[in-house]
Homo-oligomer: A and B are copies of this chain.
């Protein structure tokens, strides 16, 4: 518990110079290798990251900045990213922005000079933070969300539009002309694109949903609850709802339970992002799923290769992963529709 040993302590104790110790540490062959190793363990020597990075300009760390660590999607992204770095010897610093641009600014300012690279899921699209990173020369890859105004970032997205489309088409195919949506934060890429996917798909079928059928939920459970409550209170409520993310879906389902609406008889519901509990709900939840860990792993691979680059300005990569529909049992035909005749039908 005394003062931590420095490289000088090791050198003295081993009877060599600091450069020899340093070389040995970096992998060069040295005569005193064994002796140095012995002294290192004896003294519990650990190189000081501060000194190393002051000298080298490298920190050996990567930041992973996400809006919500508690969201199972981002937890999966973290797992995916970690699975890649475990090879590379880089440390990951995880940070949470709570879906707030301001918090994100703070976090980034703080991490900026402590890391060699950053994976960022920006809280919103019109947000100067990624540009800040670019200005500071920190290699950055954007994940799940992009910032159109300031190009030049490698990005790993999913097909939000296509995912939303497949969800809405699924509902439409069951006969739900009265399909509503609970959108996330439309300032963010997934929020905007999933809403767009809903609107466009509806329009293609010649349906113009009433304004009330588009509710905002802000990506959090509470927002999903409120939004569903508003939908259910409508004089002429929807027969189906597309909820644009996992957390909001939990909230929406709570509202549905509180009101006593029956799924799928009274209301069909489809979520975005799968979750282990989707299967154990009653009825099991139909969702749009996507390769979450893969998204994290890919982003990390892209970042690593970007960081190891000699020429800093290679062309920008933008990859879009596919979603797929996992059909379970939360979507049925609307009540009173011709399609609802059958064992499940209950109406007059």
Residues of A within 8 A of B (CB): 1, 4, 44, 46-51, 53-54, 59, 61, 69-70, 72, 75-76, 78-79, 82, 91-96, 107, 109-114, 134-137, 221, 250-251, 253-254, 256-257, 276-277, 279-282
**A336 vs B103: C-alpha distance in the bound complex, in angstroms?**
57
**A44 vs B44: C-alpha distance in the bound complex, in angstroms?**
39
- Which among B93, B110, B277 is the interface contact of A94 at CB below 8 angstroms? B93
Apart from A1-B137, A46-B113, what are 13 other A-B pairs with CB-CB below 8 Å? A4-B113, A4-B137, A46-B109, A48-B54, A50-B51, A50-B54, A69-B69, A91-B107, A94-B94, A250-B280, A254-B276, A280-B281, A282-B282
Copy number of this protein in the oligomer? Answer: 2
User: Would you call B94 and A95 a contact (CB within 8 A)?
Assistant: yes
**A54 vs B51: C-alpha distance in the bound complex, in angstroms?**
6
User: Would you call B276 and A250 a contact (CB within 8 A)?
Assistant: yes
Chain B residues closer than 8 Å to A93, beta-carbon distance: 93-95
Chain B: CB-nearest residue to A52: B50
User: Would you call A76 and B70 a contact (CB within 8 A)?
Assistant: yes
CB of A199, distance to nearest CB on chain B (Å): 28
Ranked nearest first, the 3 interchain pairs of A and B with the lowest CB-CB distance are A70-B75, A282-B282, A94-B94
